[in-house]
Amino acid sequence: MPGKGDAPVLPGARAVARHVRISPMKARRVVNLVRGLPAKEALTVLQFAPQAASEQVYKVLASAIANAENNERLDPDALLVSEAFVDEGPTMKRFQPRAQGRAYRIRKRTCHITVAVEAVAPAAPRKAAAKKAAPATEAAPATEAAPATEAAPAEAQSKTEGAE
């Protein structure tokens, strides 16, 4: 993918669906849900989104992931939806007959859906490292408290021995 100016170019791929028979405004609602998400998570969001346009956006995103995997040799788990947008396509004009010889225009709108994915470092190892570090900090106070809990039963035992 071409870079802008001096910005480094991240490896990625894109897919475009042209002349999709969905209104651009309706498709934009769905595209806004997945922009910036990890690719696998975006597929899951689209799979369960109730909008009709989510099926078409799902296909375009799946195609972009397949392009990255097969053409660019990228790991599909390390992909991020870097850009996703919807452009207006050609509008088909039809006429609906109305009363008294009138005709109302019906606009059947189309759109072009574009999704681009980029390779990023997988986020899972960073989260795992943070989880490993957290118990280590909690373990230190627990070791300090452990001798105090061990001393308490010893004192109680010596009191019971002294009473006998």
pLDDT of 80 > 60? The answer is yes
Residues 6+ apart with CB under 8 A from 96: 103, 104, 105, 106
pLDDT of amino acid 10: 75
Of the CA atoms within 13 Å of residue 17, those in its CB half-sphere come to 25
Q: Tens of pLDDT along 19-60?
A: 999 999 999 999 999 999 999 999 999 999 999 999 999 999
Q: In what order do the strands lie in the sheet with 12-20?
A: 12-20, 111-119, 79-88
- What does the mean pLDDT of the chain come to? 83
pLDDT of 163 > 60? The answer is no
pLDDT of amino acid 131: 55
User: Of 6, 24, 51, 41, which is closest to residue 113 (Cα–Cα)?
Assistant: 24
pLDDT of 65 > 80? The answer is yes
pTM score of the predicted model: 0.69
pLDDT of amino acid 63: 97
Q: Tens of pLDDT along 99-121?
A: 999 999 999 999 999 999 999 87
| Whether the Cβ atoms of residue 24 and residue 111 lie closer than 8 Å to each other | yes
pLDDT of amino acid 7: 63
Rounded CA-CA distance 159/153 in Å is 10
Which residue type, as a one-letter code, is found at position 64?
A: A
Model confidence at 158, in pLDDT bands (50, 70, 90)? low
Longest dimension (CA), the chain: 113
pLDDT of 142 > 60? The answer is no
What does each C-alpha distance from 68 to 10, 31, 56 come to in angstroms?
Answer: 12, 19, 19
